Structure 1
Amino acid sequence: MSGFEVRDLSVRLGGRQVLKNICFNAESGALVALVGPSGAGKTTLLRALAGLIPSDGAMVFAGADVRGLSVAQRAQKFAYVPQDDSVHWPLPVRDVVGLGRFPHGPSRPDRLSGRDLLAVEQALDVVDLQAMAERPVTKLSGGERRRVAVARALATQAPVLFADEPTASVDPHYQLSIMTLLRQQARQGALVFVVTHDLGAAARFADRVLLLCEGRLEAAGLPDAVLSSAQLADVFAIDIFRCEHAGEPVIVPWTAR
């Protein structure tokens, strides 16, 4: 199996140390949740892993140095769902999702191959967007645009998917649908990284959790171990309610300390 090996990853932005000596391994076929307080460095870590910002240390994916990959190679290997999914042109949803196929060669939405078109239609199906496929994306709600961003990333069919708060502004039905979909992508062999503030979703859907605080990796491992009451109290200054339902863990932030 292929995966990420990260050693002593550090990032400075604007003269400030944002990430400090991050080390972890993540294998393909897993959903990895990145959790931590606001400003902990979660988005910065995601962008560094994708090769979108300068960083120090070692990052290896499938035996290759991420920094040695060309832009085209990274675009084929890594799909990215950003926090900001604004689209300023009234493009149809289908065309925006089709942008996910550009790393594979087409220069315009009307030049997609049969394989490209199939990937786009599959992505629209799994995110339940077929009914909106011809609507201008600028006419959609924030939650609907999040689903478009997820579909665009899925259309790339990359072996690694980075998703930065993919369920933000999404109603509970689609929060569950998106997290279930991302877990299915991992089960099918992808390596999926998800930044989330939802500790319950991390506990339920993730195979591994990376807990960040003030630019450092406080803990990495199985959800039960990382999302312990003591650790969450220390990092978030909260007490949690923990139980189990239908054989899956439930975590609810309960009181602020």
Structure 2
Amino acid sequence: MTATAFLAIERLCVRLGGRVLVDDVSVALPRRCLVALVGPNGAGKTTLLRALAGLVPSQGQVTIDGKDLAGLAVRERAVRFAYLPQGHAVHWPLPVRDVVALGRYPHGATDPRRLGPSDAAAVDRALHEADLMALQDRPVSELSGGERGRVALARALATQAPVLLADEPIASLDPYYQLSVMALLRKQADAGALVVVVTHDLGLAARFADRVLTLRDGRLSNAGAPDVALSADRLAEIFAIEAFRGVHDGQPVIVPWAAR
């Protein structure tokens, strides 16, 4: 591990139900970085993200800014890690603003309708960044799947955590909002956050990420810049595909083209 790592993962393993889901993963990640976590279905991407958030038991060590994750109280961990899970099920017809305000709970805001000035400002900013100001009074249960996805993202942004863990945040979005959300996550990284995004979109990973981590069978098979981690040889090895590769407006383009 490097001394400058903000998030350091050392020999992380996750075993659930007698199966090894994450196996001996070690990597050091800095702030101001957008990391794309890619790999085939069942590779362990979601489990790794949940382990980093402290949501599943694991072996090994995870440190954030030099502090051992295992030694942090639940609220301290929640202030440092904002976690956006897959799926956006909402079971109560709460207004969008109230759901987003739940992101302030780790900071002590227990009533979404009685926010202090700093909490209200954080919620306003998250609503604006996720393009939800016009929907803030709508019940979340009345929204489309894509709109609920943006609400979930806004809730995570409202936490203002230095690490944002996002599990397939663009999966249910149309192309416009896929690009908008990736640009927003890129903005969070540029502002100083460490953003780790699970995605199956190799083209957007190549375009927006600083680093790409590739998981296969629970093991970290590659970690590096997109042009290295998503090279033709790597795509063939990990995904068993060939891809069209190009450049548009100075940005890399990767389009999965054929199964091998």
TM, length-normalised to structure 1: 0.99
Amino acid at match of 2:28: N
**2:206 is matched with which residue: 192, 203, 225?**
203
Partner of 1:113: 116
Partner of 1:176: 179
Query: Counterparts of 1:104-253 in structure 2 under 5 Å?
Result: 104-253=107-256
Amino acid at match of 1:44: T
- CA positional deviation for 1:84: 2.2
Query: Counterparts of 1:73-88 in structure 2 under 5 Å?
Result: 73-88=76-91
**1:90 is matched with which residue: 70, 77, 93?**
93
In the aligned structure 1, how far is the partner of 2:88 from the partner of 2:103?
13
In the aligned structure 2, how far is the partner of 1:107 from the partner of 1:22?
36
- CA positional deviation for 1:64: 0.5
Deviations along 1:221-257, whole A, 9 cap, x unmatched?
A: 1111000101111111100000001111000000011
In the aligned structure 1, how far is the partner of 2:85 from the partner of 2:79?
16
- CA positional deviation for 1:2: 5.5
Amino acid at match of 1:167: I
Number of equivalent positions: 257
In the aligned structure 1, how far is the partner of 2:175 from the partner of 2:235?
24
In the aligned structure 1, how far is the partner of 2:71 from the partner of 2:255?
42
In the aligned structure 1, how far is the partner of 2:188 from the partner of 2:209?
12
In the aligned structure 2, how far is the partner of 1:140 from the partner of 1:203?
31
**2:24 is matched with which residue: 9, 21, 24?**
21
**Partner SS state of residue 113, structure 2:** helix
Partner of 1:45: 48
Provide the identity percentage. Answer: 62
Amino acid at match of 1:195: V
**1:255 is matched with which residue: 248, 253, 258?**
258
> What runs of 5+ residues in structure 1 fail to find an aligned partner?
none
In the aligned structure 2, how far is the partner of 1:78 from the partner of 1:58?
16
In the aligned structure 2, how far is the partner of 1:204 from the partner of 1:68?
36
Query: Counterparts of 1:49-68 in structure 2 under 5 Å?
Result: 49-68=52-71
Deviations along 1:116-167, whole A, 9 cap, x unmatched?
A: 1111011111110011111000011111111001000000001000000000
Is the contact between residue 38 and residue 45 of structure 2 (CA under 8 Å) also seen in structure 1?
yes
In the aligned structure 1, how far is the partner of 2:119 from the partner of 2:47?
31
Is the contact between residue 166 and residue 197 of structure 2 (CA under 8 Å) also seen in structure 1?
yes
In the aligned structure 1, how far is the partner of 2:116 from the partner of 2:17?
42
**Partner SS state of residue 242, structure 1:** strand
Segments ≥4 residues shifted beyond 3 Å = none
**2:106 is matched with which residue: 78, 103, 127?**
103
> What runs of 5+ residues in structure 2 fail to find an aligned partner?
none
